Structure 1
C-alpha cells in the first residue's frame, strides 16, 4: 500500500497588482478513513507582487507649489497631494523632507504620512513662518524619500518644486523725508530728500516732477522732472529744485514735488497676483509721503514800507483849524494786515488840552 501522494495546485498569473492571498486546503474523509485533526489541513499563501499596496507619488496638481508668509488674507499654508495606485491594499507609511531644510522658513522640514488600507489619496500641509525681514523669492524641493515595506515610490513623481514668494517688500518703499519744507527766495534753491525704506535689493528707478500751486513754475521756481536710480543697498538720494529770485514783494507761496512711480529694473520678475493673493515677486512701492510741499517764504518787504506822505512831512496849520489830517502811505508790498503805531514828540507845543490832541494812536492797512 502506498504511503504518500502529492496534490498539485497551480497559481494563475494575471496583470493585477495584488497583496498576499491566503488559502487553506482540507482533507475530507471518505468511507471510514480517519483524518488527523492536527494535520488534516494546510495553509497556502500566494505571495503578492512587490508594490501591491500601490505606487505612491505626488499628484500632478502639486508638482509646483506656491507658499508665502502669513498675512491678513492668507494663513501661510500650502497643500501637497499624494496619490497611490493602481492597488490600494494595506497600510503604507511615506516619509518626506524639504531641501534645503530651512527651519527659519518652514515650520516643519520633514515628516511622515500613513495611508490606510483602501486609501488612494492623502495630503501633506506645509507652513511658512512669518518674520519682518525683506526677502526675495526662494526655491526649495519637496521630496518623498522612503516608503514602508511593500510600498513603492514613483520614480517620476517623488519630487515637487516649492516657490516661497517674496515678502516684506524686498525692493523697498520710497518716500520724501519730510512732508513740508520752507525756503527763502534768496536761497535760490532747496534740497529735497527721498529715502528708501524696507528692503534694499535690486535696481529701482524713480520718476518725479514739480507741481505749481500759488507759486508758478518759470516765475517763482524752475520746473523740474526727471528720474533717480537707486542702486542695491542705496538708501538716500537728493534732488535740487531752483528758486527764482526777483524784486517783487510777495507773501508766502507754495508748490510741490511729487513721486510719480517707481519701477524695478531687470528681467525675470513676475508680479502677477495668483491664488491666495500671492505674488512671486513684490514690486517696489511709493510710500506714504509721496508729495512734499515747498513754501517760499514772504520776501522783498511783502508787508510794505509804511511812511508819511512825503508831501506832508512838514506843514503849518492855524490854531482855529481845530483838526488836520496827515496822510500815511504803504509802499511796495501789500501782504497781510499791517498796523503802525503813531506817537508824538513835542518841542514847544504841549500835548493834551493845551496845544494839541492825537485822535488815533495807530493806523491799520
Structure 2
C-alpha cells in the first residue's frame, strides 16, 4: 500500500533496535538498562546504507529522545545539504502545526522497577492552542495483567504545556522469563477551541493545526531480573597424580541463584580409558534455590604401572530448570573450567589458567551444541 516511507523506516528501525538490545543482553545478561540502551544506540549507528540517512536520523531521534549525544553523532554523518533540508522542513512544520509525540519512544526497564513514567511531548504550532490525545497500552510479548498494569486515558495539553507523563506499573514476579515488551499508543488527536468546541485538526482546513508526530507508539522493554545463575568449573585444565584415588570437583554458581536447577554431567575418554584409568561416571548435579556450589566425585584408578601422561574429559550438559514451565526460557549458562581440591593436588599441580567463556543456553527443549571450551580436561601423571 501507500505507506509513508518515513513511517516504514521507523518501524523497521524499531524492530532492529529491539533485536539489537536482545543480542547485547544475551552476551551480558547483567548489563544495566541505561548501558544496554547506550550500546544498542551506538550499534545502530553503524548499520544500514547511508542513502537512507534522512529516515534513519528521524527514527533514531524519536527512539532515543531529544538532545542525546547519539543523535548529534548521527547528524554529523550527513552532509550539510541534507541537514539543511531537514532543518528547513522542521522549522516550517513547527511554525504551523502542533506536534504530539513520545519523547523518547523506547524505554528499557528492569522487572523490579515498580512504576515509571513515559513522556509525551508537544512542540510548535499556533499560540493559544489546547490539544487532547488518547493513550492506551497494547500487549506485545508482555501481557497486561501478568507483566504490566494496563492503562488508558486522555492527556490535555493546555497552551503552556510542553510535556505530560503517563505512569505505568510493571509487575515483578519470581518466574524466569524472556525479556519482553509491550506498546503504548497515542490516538484520536483533537483540538479544543476557547469556547469549548472539540474539533478534528485535520478537518479545519489548510495545514493541520495539530498532528500526531511519528512515533505515535512507544515500546517498553522489560528486562527479567530473575536469574538462575551461571554454572561452571573454576578452571578448564589441570594435572593430578593417579594415586590421589578420587577427585571432588566443585561446580560453582554465580550471578544469580534463583530456583532449583539440575546440571547433567558425564565423563568422556581421551587418551585415558574409562574403567582402566578412571571410573566412568554420568549423573546430575542438583542446585537447590540459593545454593551456590555442589560437587562431582570422580574416581581415579591407580594402575601402579608406568604410563605416559593421559587425559580424559568431564562435560557439563544443558542446565534444566527443575520446575519446568511451558513457554519460558531459563537464563542459564555453562562456563568452562574446573577446580582441583587441595587434598588431591600434588605440589607440582599445574593449573594452566581459567577460560572465562560463557555460553548462554536456552531452555530444555532446544538443541545444545557443546564446544570443546565447555569441557574440562584431566591429565594424570604417572
Shorter-chain TM-score above 0.5: no
Q: Which of structures 1 and 2 has the larger relative contact order (alpha carbons within 8 angstroms, sep 6+)?
A: 2
TM-score range, shorter chain: 0.3 to 0.5
**If each structure's strand is expressed as a fraction of its own residues, which one has the higher value?**
1
Task: Please identify which structure carries the higher helix content.
Answer: 2
- TM-score, length of structure 1 as denominator length: 0.44
Q: What TM-score do you get using the length of structure 2 for normalisation?
A: 0.42
Bigger Rg, which one: 1
